[in-house]
Structure formats: structure tokens, C-alpha cells
Amino acid sequence: MALAVAFTGISNSGKTTIIEKISTILKDKYKIGIIKHDPKDKAIFDKEGKDSFRFFETGAEVAVVSPTRTTYFSHRQKELEELVLMFGDIDILLVEGLKNLPFPRICVARGEIDESYLGFSEALAIDESIDRSKYDLPQTLDIMDLNDPQTIIEWILQNGKEI
């Protein structure tokens, strides 16, 4: 069993940064899996000219295996269950994006809050750039400091969904 939680928010809100901080803190005690959604299909996974890039360009499913890591490149969208099985034994799954997944969700915001994310979020992680008085925030929303990853980790451990 693993605990899963998702992070959502507008582009450049700090989602990747907070997931990176949380994963770095937890990695010595837990096995962490991270799934990042790339809705605009703009992520670059390898450099042009490298063998793995050239293999992937053929349309094949490609795995690069080395003594310290395995990287998998696919032309097919994978369902969550397939990805979790590929990870194998993990304790915590952190998902960036994929707002259709039924996981507890932390909305991440800096500068402004896109209130359209709040309807499917259980928590809000913000920094000092947010003036909370400008927003009608739901009373049920847990509000955390985006710059305090330990508090966010405690929230994940208490509220993550078992998968």
C-alpha cells in the first residue's frame, strides 16, 4: 500500500519545486514515486542524436537500463495503475497535475490563486505573495505555507489516499 496525493495549480506556481523538496526530505525514510502530467506534450526527455532519442524516434517503446537507474520512454499514454505497477514497491506517490484522479489534492499558488482549482482541492499551499483577504476561500480548505515542506509532508501523511 502506498499513500497518494496530487498537486495542482497554474504554470509556474511552484508545484515542481515543492514536490522536489518533499521527495528529497522523504527519500531516506520512504520509497517515493512521482508522476508528472505534461498536458501540452512539451517535455523533452532526451537529447537529439543520443541513442535513446534515436530509438524512441523509431516509434518503439524504449528502456534505458544502467547500474543506477532505468528510464522508460513510451509512445502510449499509461493508466495510473500501469505506472504504479512499473514503480513497484513505493510508499508515497506524488502526482503533479492530472486533476481527474481521485486523490487528495493540494493547490499550489504564488502571486495569485486561480480559484477554479479550489473546487477539487482539499488543501492550499501558498507563500507570502498571496493576499488571502482578496479571496473567498472555502472554510474546509487546509491552508499551508508553501515554504514549509515539513507541514505539507505531515498533511500528506495524514490525508494521503491509500492505493
Which CATH number characterizes residue 42's domain? 3.40.50.300
Looking at residues 30-56, what average pLDDT do you find? 82
What is the chain's alpha carbon radius of gyration, rounded to the nearest angstrom? 17
Full-model pTM: 0.89
- Residue 103 banded pLDDT, cuts 50, 70, 90: very high
Containing domain of residue 109, as a range? 3-162
Q: What is the pLDDT of residue 16?
A: 93
Q: What is the pLDDT of residue 71?
A: 83
Give the total number of structural domains in the chain: 1
Q: Are 96 and 7 in contact (CB under 8 A)?
A: yes
